[in-house]
Chains A and B, each alone.
Chain A
Amino acid sequence: MSEQPIELPPAADIEYGAEAPVTGQGRMEAAWGSSEGDEDMSAPQATQPTSTGHVFEQVYKPWQGTLNPRWMRNWAILRHHLLGIFKKGHRPWGMPTRLFVLIVFIASLSDAALTLLSGLIGDGSLHQLWGVSRDNLYGHVLGFFPRNVLYYPIVAALLVGSVISEDRQHGTSALYFSRPITRFDYVGMKFLSVALIQALVVLLTLALYYFAEIISLGRGWAWIMDTFPLFLAAFVSGMLLIFTYTSIGLALSSVSKGKFFPGIGLLSIVLGTKVLAVLVSTLFDREILYLLSPYDCMAHVGQILIGTQPTYDQYSWTWSLASLVAMNALALYTLSARVSSMEVTRE
């Protein structure tokens, strides 16, 4: 604050007669006081305050909260991966993956949409073609090109690609294992999250397809009692498909540091073995190589579960089941062995 004297007019200069001009000085003095004795006064004059800005102060803030138990930690992993498909702030799935999952989800609803359509327009032939039946339930999960070879295997390949390999690549395995997360919980939740995203595409659309028939055609309890075991069998077949693709895919992801190899590896295994078996079957009329194809083993078992006409007639379905069990066992063994070797200190 600096102080500067203010010069006031001498009191003798002020006239109070009737002819005196109205200057407003009298009113000002009434309001603010007389100028008498103010001659030597000084008025304070404010100076412009200086802005100092915000100074960062490092303060350690303690936290007194309680950590939740194991299930909450596992839920965090599951939530992180699942919600990442839908919004930011969670696991950053790539845009191609999210887009392809959406496309396949919509495409997988085609039978549900056509069932609704046939119910709405009352067209029996259309319903015969698309309505719920043994073959169509099988077809929703395991049959019908391109669903069997393009939709679900590619969805699985895109999903499993980097789920474990990214933790090796970026060292984020340390983030998990330096916390009270066991290897079993880690791999279990990753497995479950990838499987659940696939279930959205495969099983949710299957359920919607089944309910579309009930709603559009007003099916009663008798029909439901008749067809529910078929739906359940298709559901179990779908779970088998998801489990197998996930276990093989994650095993490949666990031996890699990138997302390309696991994805292309899964597609090669699923499609390559199938193409090879088809070639051998066509050229030599020997179907035995289908036992090496995960897809064909699942299709064979699925056909038996749902009760459709088997298309593999040179060997029993139990061989396919045994082959499927062996494939999954090998994949899970590889997965567990590789995850056990993941480091906290360095990779």
Chain B
Amino acid sequence: MVDELIIKTTNLTKSYGPHIALDNLNLAVKKGATGLLGPNGAGKSTFLKTILGLIQASEGEGTVLGHDIRTEGDAIRARIGYMPEYDALNPDMDAIHQVRYSGELLGMNPTIALARAHESLQYVGIGEERYRNIGSFSTGMKQATKLACALIHDPELIIADEPSNGLDAKAREYMIQTLTTTVRDGDRSVLMASHLMDDVERVCENIVLLHKGKLAAQGAIEDLKAIDREIEIHVWGGATRLAQALEADGLTVRREGRVMRIGHVGEDTTTRILACAAQTGAQVRRMHEYEASLEDLFLVIMENLGYEVKTSEDLLGSPAFARKVDAPAHMGGGGA
């Protein structure tokens, strides 16, 4: 994959009176799939509207696919496919004509738009249902239709705003697969704004994390995860003593009962952990390198920024299994 930038902003600022929605944003989004993350009010919507050329930035500049966001909004919108978060379909129209119309609005010839509408709907998994009124569609089918509207002109960049929101497991899986295929086989780029970290992690290789209009993190997910590399141990007997010994040895410890995660500080980290265990008489029954999920990373970064965020489980309305993950002390967290 070529490392060309599809979105680039320099000191991008957007303010509404005294409220600063985007604050000196310096972004560089590469070709491929990128997740746009951030809690409510982080500036994601403002950012999307700004890069679509729909609202003028107060300061700074930016380009999308090489077009200036301040002066070439039309050219940008002709080359991207936007899949909105909310319903954007006429329930009284059938899917095939709705998608065809979305193609015509881009300047496609009606006959060509109809042919492409069939292809797009087939691609997103809407078969013979394409002749049904959208009003009778399930949420998954509506999401798929919106994606077909975005894909009809084979755009270079697809901006998908919460594409898997409200979908059941099967529809969600299919949506993720479709976006992945679009990136992998279609060689297209996807900018995916979502609260569902698992989905972002499965589709995207990069993320951009916004917080209160500022850029909190950006880069490859794997690289960002490496920042918080940890070793997880399961301890039997003397866990508290071991935790104290590890901290006395200068290691960072996050503990949940008998499970501890110790910050990786170098090649001798495991040796130091075992030495502390031997010294305190604690049994280390299991030891492995802990691979943080994107959600962990998100929570850690957001909590370090002093922002109380919810897990995706919370956002989905089932907080029972929400994990309690604290930030490491060196990043400003208090430890568990």
Contacts and interface: CB of A to CB of B under 8 A. Distances in A.
Contact of B154 (A59, A62, A89, A181): A62
Interface stretch (A42-50, A72-80, A148-156, A298-306): A72-80
The contact size tier of chain A is 35 or more
B93 A92 contact: yes
A178 B112 contact: no
B27 to A, nearest CB: 18
A60 B86 contact: no
Interface stretch (B75-83, B204-212, B261-269): B75-83
Interface residues of B, number: 51
A235 to B, nearest CB: 31
Interface in A257-309: none
A344 B108 CA distance: 21
B78 A179 contact: yes
A86 B286 CA distance: 73
B186 A62 contact: yes
B108 A65 contact: yes
Contacts of B278: none
Interface in B35-56: 45, 48-49, 52, 54
Nearest to B101: A80
Chain A interface, >50% SS class = loop
Given A175-B88, A175-B105, A344 B54 contact: yes
Interface string A62-100: 111101111011001101100000001110100000000
B108 A67 contact: yes
Nearest to A93: B92
A195 to B, nearest CB: 20
Interface stretch (B175-183, B238-246, B314-322, B323-331): B175-183
Interface in B59-116: 73-75, 77-78, 80, 82, 84-94, 97, 100-102, 104-110, 112, 116
Contact of A346 (B86, B102, B104): B86
B119 interface: yes
Contacts of B154: 61-64
A89 B123 contact: no
B3 interface: no
21 contacts: A58-B178, A58-B181, A60-B123, A63-B116, A63-B154, A65-B153, A67-B153, A73-B104, A73-B106, A79-B104, A90-B97, A172-B88, A174-B88, A175-B101, A177-B54, A179-B77, A180-B73, A181-B105, A344-B84, A345-B85, A346-B86
Interface of B: 45, 48-49, 52, 54, 73-75, 77-78, 80, 82, 84-94, 97, 100-102, 104-110, 112, 116, 119, 123, 125, 127, 149, 153-154, 161, 177-178, 181-182, 185-186, 188
Nearest 9 A/B pairs, CB to CB: A76-B104, A178-B82, A60-B186, A63-B154, A67-B107, A180-B74, A68-B107, A92-B92, A174-B88
